[in-house]
Structures are given as structure tokens and as C-alpha cells.
Amino acid sequence: MNKRRVETLIPIAIKKIEEMKELRAKDKNNNPIDDKIDKIYSSYLASFGPSVITSGALMAVMFYAGDDKKSKIIKLMEEVLKEAGLISDDLKDYVNEEFKKGNALKATQLITDANIACKLAIRTFDLYEENEKKED
């Protein structure tokens, strides 16, 4: 982990989370709840790191990108890295190219830093779970 890079990416991640409407929680009628983020994305970000450790960055990115809901956190990390000027390609393409060049460690570190920044950034938002009980 590159602490300085993570600290630089956190404000960008907060901005991107605010902009990504698809991360918004939805009520029973599938209407977006403007001020809340769906809690599932926090869970996906938390489980992405262990996926990288167990399967490797390339497999984790490809696995998450292949799922409708999980692909949104790949898109989030991609947007964060693009805005920071660290990548210019699609995240899947970037990781694939770096692995082909023999730069697996570089790609893994970059992905891990983006993941950590997004995990920390999402904590600043109110999270909503559809089944959460309302307090009376």
C-alpha cells in the first residue's frame, strides 16, 4: 500500500461516489434514495481486497467486472484512477496489459490502493440496506 497515493485518491473517491447515481440505495418501489448509498457496495469493496489476495488482481477484476452489481465498484475504482491520472484505459484492459508486460505487482498495488481509498471514502456516506429495520 502506498499511503500517500491512498490519501490522494480518497477525495477523488468521495467525489466519484457522489456522482455515481447507480450506487444510490433504492426503496421498495425501486426509486433512488438520494442521500444514501446501497450498503451492498460497501460490502463488495470490503470483499474485493481478499479476492485480490486469494485469486490475484487480474482474476478479481475480471470476476467483479462480470457481475452486474459488483461491476459498479470496478467502474468506481476505474473512474477514481482515471481522474487521478494513473490510468487512461478501462480498468480491465489496464490490468490485463500490465500482467502481459510482467508488471503484475504494479497493477496489483494500484488496484489495492484504489480499493482502500474507495472503502474509506464510502464510510463517509449514509449506507442503506433495504431490509434494515426502522426505529420507532
Reported residue count of the chain is: 136
Give the bridge partners for 32, in sequence order: 26
Expressed as residue numbers, the domain containing 64 is 3-25+34-127
**Assigned C-alpha cell, 75:** 467502474
Give the bridge partners for 127, in sequence order: 37
- Into how many domains does the chain fold? 1
* Res 135 pLDDT > 50: no
pLDDT tens for 50-104 read 999 999 999 999 999 999 999 999 999 999 999 999 999 899 999 999 999 999 9
Q: Are 108 and 56 a contacting pair, CB within 8 Å?
A: yes
Is 133 among the domain residues?
A: no
**Assigned C-alpha cell, 60:** 478479481
DSSP string covering 29-74: TS-EEEEEEEHHHHHHHHHHHHHHHHH-HHHHHHHHHTSTTTHHHH
Is 109 among the domain residues?
A: yes
Q: What is the pLDDT of residue 133?
A: 43
Cβ atoms < 10 Å from Cβ of 116:
21
- pLDDT band at residue 11 under the 50/70/90 scheme: very high
> Looking at residue 53, which CATH number applies to its domain?
1.10.520
Which contacts of 90-98 are long-range, i.e. CB under 8 A and separated by 24 or more positions? Answer: 91/61, 91/65, 92/61, 92/62, 92/65, 95/57, 95/58, 95/61, 96/58
